[in-house]
Structure 1
Amino acid sequence: MKRDELFLEELKEMDEEFSGWDFSYVSGTGRIQSGALSWSYGSKVRRLMRNTEAMLDMGTGGGEFLSQLRPLPDYTAATEGYEPNLPVAKNRLEPLGVKIVQINEDDKLPFEDNRFDLIVNKHESFDPSEVKRVLKPGGTFLTQQVGGLDCLQINEALHAKENQYKDWNLTEAMNGLKAQEFKVVTIREDYPVQRFFDIGALVYYLKAIPWQVPDFNLEDYQDELYSINEIIKDRGYFEVRQHRFLIQAER
C-alpha cells in the first residue's frame, strides 16, 4: 500500500517524548478535542476541600491537576505509581508542601489509619478497603474513573484486542465500595465524544496510554493507521467515544 509523505512525516513526528500527564502538546493545539462531561470533577473537589485539614490525591500523575487547587489543605499528600511521573510531580508539588509517595500496590497505602478527611482520585485504580482504612469516619472519597468501554473504537479500527480493563464499570466500582460499607452519595456516567484531527495525535495518545493497545507499535499497525488517516482526510477527524463515571462516597 502506497504511503503519502504527509502520513509518514506525521508518524515520525510522534517520536516526541511524553512526560508527566500533560496532553497539551496535542490537546492545547486542538489536535485532540473531547466533549464536555455533565459534571466538573475540579469543581466538586474544590467544594469538598472547604474545611478539609488533610487530603490525599491518588494517582497525581505529574501533579498538573493538584497544583491548580491552591491553597491546599494544611496536610496534602499525593501518590503516584508510574515511575516516569515521579520527578515531574515532585518538581511541581514539593515546593507547595505536598508529600509525594510512590506506590506499587493499591492495597498498601503508606499512611496511618484515619489520616485523611478527603481522598480524591482521578482515573486511578483503588482498593476500597484501603481507602476506608486511611479515610476518617465521616470522610469523603471522590473518584472519576475511566470505564472499560473507553475509546473502544480505536481498538476496533486497529483490529486490536479489547482494552484490558473492558469489564471495569460503574456497577463494579459501586459494589466494591458498598461492600466496605461506604455510603454512595452521588453517581454519574457519561460517554463524551473524542476526536483526533490528525494521525500523529492519535499515535501520540496511544504512546501515552499504553494500556489502550498494549502491543501498539508503528510497524505492526501501519496499515490500520493509514486507513484511519484516510478517514481523517475524508471526514476531517476520527471520532471515538470516551467512557467516564463519577462516584462520591462517604465512610
Structure 2
Amino acid sequence: MNRTFEELVAEGAAVPTDGWDFSWFAGRATEERPEWGYARSAGERLARARAALDLQTGGGEVLDFALGQAAPARPTVLAATEGWPPNAARATTLLAPHGAVVVASQDTAPLPFADAAFDLVLSRHPVAPHWPEIARVLEPGGTYFAQHVGPASAFELVEYFLGPQPAEVRAGRDPGRERAGAEAAGLEVEELRTARLRMEFHDIAAVVHFLRKVIWMVPGFTVEAYEDRLRALHQEIGAGGPFVAHSTRQLFVARKPAAEGAVV
C-alpha cells in the first residue's frame, strides 16, 4: 500500500538525528562508498599508533568501528572531540569501553591538547579542517588521515531546494585549496584522492531525515518552510523513481615533517 506524503514526511521528521549511524536509511536511500575504505584503513593505522585523536567524532560510530578493526592492538592514548552535546554524550558512552576520552570542543576552537601530543590524527567529514591546530598537536613525523566532504556534494538535492548556487559556493571544499591550507600549516600532503559517488533517495521520508541530519546542506531546513518543494519531490519520486544526487569525497594523508636528524 502506498503511503501518503503526510505519513512519510511525519516519519522522516520524527527520527532522532543524533550520532552518525545511518542504518535507518536502509531500503530508503543508498550512497556508493569510496574505494579506499576509510574506516577499515583508519583501523589499520590505529593498530600502529601510540597516541591518536579523532576530530569531530560525531556519535563515535566510525571510530568505534575502526577500533574494532584495530583490535587487539590500539593506541595507549586515545581521545576524540565533538562540538554538539547530544553527539558528545553518545560518543562518550560508545567509546568509553575502548578507553577513549571524549572532549567537548567546538569545531573552530583551538584544540585542548598539548603540542605534539599525537602521532595520529583522524577525522571523517570534518566541517572544515583546522590545519594550524592539526599541525600543532601532531608530533614530528605524525600523520593526519582523514576523509573530507568534497566540493558541491549532493548539490542536486541542495539546489532542488535552494536553487542554483553561486560558483564560489560550489567551489567550497576544493581539494586544491585544502591542500594549500595543509601545506601552509607546515604539513606535507602525501596522498590526496577524490571520488564522485551516486546517491539515491527512494522516498520523501529519507529526504526529510537526511536534510534534518546533515544540517549544512539546506541551512535552516524545516518541513514547514519547504513543504511545497517536498511535495513536488514526493510526486516526482512516485512518478519517475528515486531522486539521484552525487556526493563527493576526498581522502587526505598528510604528514608533519620529522625534526631534522630524527629517525622515524
TM-score by length of 1: 0.92
Write the deviation string for residues 111-150 of structure 1: whole angstroms up to 9, x where unpaired: 1111101001100122111111110100100111112301
Q: 1:140 aligns with which of 121, 125, 143?
A: 143
Q: In 1, are the aligned partners of 2:144 and 2:255 still within 8 Å (CA)?
A: yes
Q: Return closer, same or farther for 1:49/1:105 CA change in 2, 3 Å cut-off.
A: closer
Partner of 2:16: 17
Q: 1:58 aligns with which of 55, 59, 71?
A: 55
Q: 1:38 aligns with which of 15, 35, 38?
A: 35
Partner of 1:79: 81
Q: Return closer, same or farther for 1:192/1:128 CA change in 2, 3 Å cut-off.
A: same
Once residues 173 and 107 of structure 1 are traced to their aligned partners in structure 2, the CA distance between those partners, rounded to angstroms, is 19
Gaps of 5+ in 1: none
The aligned runs of 1:20-169 (5 Å cut-off) are: 20-26=19-25, 29-68=26-65, 69-70=67-68, 71=71, 72-124=74-126, 125-160=128-163, 162=165, 166=170, 167-169=172-174
Partner of 2:239: 234
Q: In 2, are the aligned partners of 1:106 and 1:130 still within 8 Å (CA)?
A: no
Partner of 1:198: 203
Aligned pairs, number:
246
Q: Return closer, same or farther for 1:218/1:45 CA change in 2, 3 Å cut-off.
A: same
Q: Return closer, same or farther for 1:102/1:143 CA change in 2, 3 Å cut-off.
A: same
State the Cα distance separating 1:23 from its structure 2 match.
Answer: 1.5
AA in 1 matched with 2:118: F
Identity over aligned residues, as a percent? 32
State the Cα distance separating 1:38 from its structure 2 match.
Answer: 2.7
Q: In 1, are the aligned partners of 2:55 and 2:123 still within 8 Å (CA)?
A: yes
Partner of 2:229: 224
Once residues 113 and 7 of structure 2 are traced to their aligned partners in structure 1, the CA distance between those partners, rounded to angstroms, is 48
Once residues 248 and 18 of structure 1 are traced to their aligned partners in structure 2, the CA distance between those partners, rounded to angstroms, is 30
The answer to which of 84-93 and 151-160 deviates more is 151-160
The answer to which of 133-142 and 49-58 deviates more is 49-58
Q: In 2, are the aligned partners of 1:53 and 1:75 still within 8 Å (CA)?
A: yes
TM-score by length of 2: 0.87
Once residues 105 and 222 of structure 1 are traced to their aligned partners in structure 2, the CA distance between those partners, rounded to angstroms, is 31
1:117 alignment partner, SS class: strand
Q: In 2, are the aligned partners of 1:114 and 1:133 still within 8 Å (CA)?
A: yes
Alignment root-mean-square deviation, CA:
1.9
Partner of 2:261: none
**1:172 to 2:177 alignment:** yes
Once residues 160 and 108 of structure 2 are traced to their aligned partners in structure 1, the CA distance between those partners, rounded to angstroms, is 33
Write the deviation string for residues 39-82 of structure 1: whole angstroms up to 9, x where unpaired: 11123212322431100011111111111213331111000012
Once residues 164 and 18 of structure 2 are traced to their aligned partners in structure 1, the CA distance between those partners, rounded to angstroms, is 26
AA in 1 matched with 2:6: L
Would you identify which runs of 4 or more consecutive aligned residues in structure 1 move more than 6 Å? none
Partner of 1:248: 253
AA in 2 matched with 1:204: H
Once residues 17 and 107 of structure 1 are traced to their aligned partners in structure 2, the CA distance between those partners, rounded to angstroms, is 27
